[in-house]
Amino acid sequence: MTMSKRAFALACLAAAGPAFAQSGSGWYGIGQAAAAPTAGSVTIAAHGDARNHEIMFCVEGHLMRLGDATLHFQGGGTQSIRIGERIADGGCSRGKSLSGHNHAVESADVTYDQAILAGGTAHVQLYVR
């Protein structure tokens, strides 16, 4: 595949966002929460599985700039992840590796730049595979 065809294919996948995340790629949703325009962070209740090895953050409803996430695993472990991405409405971050032995995500605290929301709201979604 030439570089331009590959770039086009990746752009199409990125534009598909959460719909792609659910369709045969191995990614599946484990939780979502509304991000308030005045909060700067959101806690997402999740129901991950110990066999998961990657996590991805998706956005619906508005463009957002996601900062950091603290993942809380069943059994008490945590993992900090730097997202640091501007994500379009309907888009997703790159996949991030889960560390440790138990990858069953129980919740995630995600920070974001609330100024970009400009008074709007969005949903932050968690996908794993």
CATH number at residue 65: 2.60.120.1380
Distance CA 101, CA 110 (A): 22
Q: Which secondary-structure segment (H or E) carries 4?
A: helix 3-22
Give the residue with greater pLDDT, 119 vs 21.
Answer: 119
Question: Domain tally for the chain?
Answer: 1
**How is residue 9 written in tokens?**
């294919």
pLDDT at 37 over 70: yes
pLDDT per position as a tens digit, 75-118: 999 999 999 999 999 999 999 999 988 899 999 999 999 999 98
Domain that holds residue 91: 3-128
* pLDDT score, position 19: 53
